[in-house]
């Protein structure tokens, strides 16, 4: 359980970092910008408090939308940007699943 939480937090951190580096900061920078740091803090909090962590795949596909609407939009954008890079280094079923859900919605 705790391991899965840690894994998700790590995954989200890496995705937000990738996104921030690619979108917001042109130079390699170890620190996230203020906006992305806020998003990451929020996502981390949600993962830590999610009661469905055991059964669900990723918050994006979670039935209970614990992400506030604005944050959900942001995290979607991050996933859309970082996801294709992440699936290769992190072949989690959950990410692929989240992505198939996203692309279905776009059609």
Q: Which residues bind Zn ion (CB under 5 A)?
A: 20, 24, 33, 36
Query: For residues 35 and 48, which CB has a smaller minimum distance to Zn ion in the complex?
Result: 35
Residue 32 is given by DSSP the state P
- Shortest distance in whole angstroms from residue 68 CB to Zn ion: 18
Query: For residues 20 and 94, which CB has a smaller minimum distance to Zn ion in the complex?
Result: 20
- Shortest distance in whole angstroms from residue 16 CB to Zn ion: 8
Tell the residue number behind the tokens 């989690």, with chain if given. 92
- Shortest distance in whole angstroms from residue 76 CB to Zn ion: 15
């Amino acid at each position: 359980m705790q391991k899965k939480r840690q894994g998700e937090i790590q995954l989200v951190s890496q995705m937000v970092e990738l996104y921030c580096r690619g979108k917001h900061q042109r130079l390699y920078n170890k620190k996230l910008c203020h906006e992305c740091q806020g998003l990451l803090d929020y996502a981390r909090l949600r993962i830590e408090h999610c009661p469905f962590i055991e059964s669900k795949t990723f918050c994006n596909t979670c039935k209970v939308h614990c992400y506030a609407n604005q944050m959900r939009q942001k995290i979607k954008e991050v996933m859309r940007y970082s996801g294709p890079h992440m699936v290769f280094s992190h072949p989690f079923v959950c990410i692929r699943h989240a992505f198939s859900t996203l692309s279905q919605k776009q059609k």
